[in-house]
């Protein structure tokens, strides 16, 4: 009676095992790439939601324009012009950044930015969200609703509707 494997049987077994390992490695790489893409989309959606939360805070913050800056033909508190959202609000920053200001949300070259102009002349421009392919803002004057939609280059959409104060 013969014991063990012959050299040919051993080589065939190693060849089959190597092929299986290659297939498993390829599947693992594809799964990791898909998982990375899903995670990136999830991070972008989280960041877009944070931007919408920031807009919500601006809408809810008090409109405290100093008496010397008020005019009889006062502007609307919330305005949209050419997909630029402007909100007269109150900044809660520290130092010179505190107080009444106008926050403008602008899409430039795929980067959503917030421009803050204080009534005392201070100006700040901050990047908020990249990889944005579309930014739409619409105000329904009759219902007093602000609709905002942010779309990424791969088609991911985040949308929210706010009541306009």
What are the boundaries of each domain within the chain?
40-163
SS3 label, residue 5: coil
* Among candidate residues 117, 114, 51, the one with its CA nearest the CA of residue 88: 117
> Reduced to 3 states, what is the DSSP secondary structure of residue 43?
helix
- The model's pTM: 0.68
pLDDT for the residue 33: 73
> What confidence tier does 8 reach under pLDDT thresholds 50, 70, 90?
confident
Give the burial class of 81: count Cβ atoms within 10 A of its Cβ; 0-12 exposed, 13-18 middle, 19 or more buried. exposed
Residues 27-46: tens digit of each pLDDT:
878 777 766 665 556 788 88
């Amino acid at each position: 009676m013969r014991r063990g494997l012959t050299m040919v049987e051993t080589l065939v077994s190693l060849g089959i095992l190597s092929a299986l390992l290659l297939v498993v490695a390829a599947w693992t790489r594809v799964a990791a790439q898909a998982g990375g893409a899903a995670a990136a989309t999830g991070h972008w959606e989280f960041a877009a939601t944070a931007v919408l939360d920031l807009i919500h805070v601006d809408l809810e913050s008090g409109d405290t324009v100093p008496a010397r800056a008020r005019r009889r033909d006062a502007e609307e508190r919330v305005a949209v012009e050419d997909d630029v959202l402007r909100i007269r609000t109150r900044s809660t920053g520290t130092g010179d950044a505190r107080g009444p200001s106008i926050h403008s949300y602008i899409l430039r070259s795929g980067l959503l930015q917030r421009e803050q102009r204080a009534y005392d002349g201070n100006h700040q421009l901050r990047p908020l969200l990249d990889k944005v392919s579309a930014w739409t803002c619409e105000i329904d004057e009759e219902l007093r609703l602000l609709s905002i939609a942010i779309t990424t280059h791969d088609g991911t959409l985040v949308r929210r509707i706010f009541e306009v104060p």
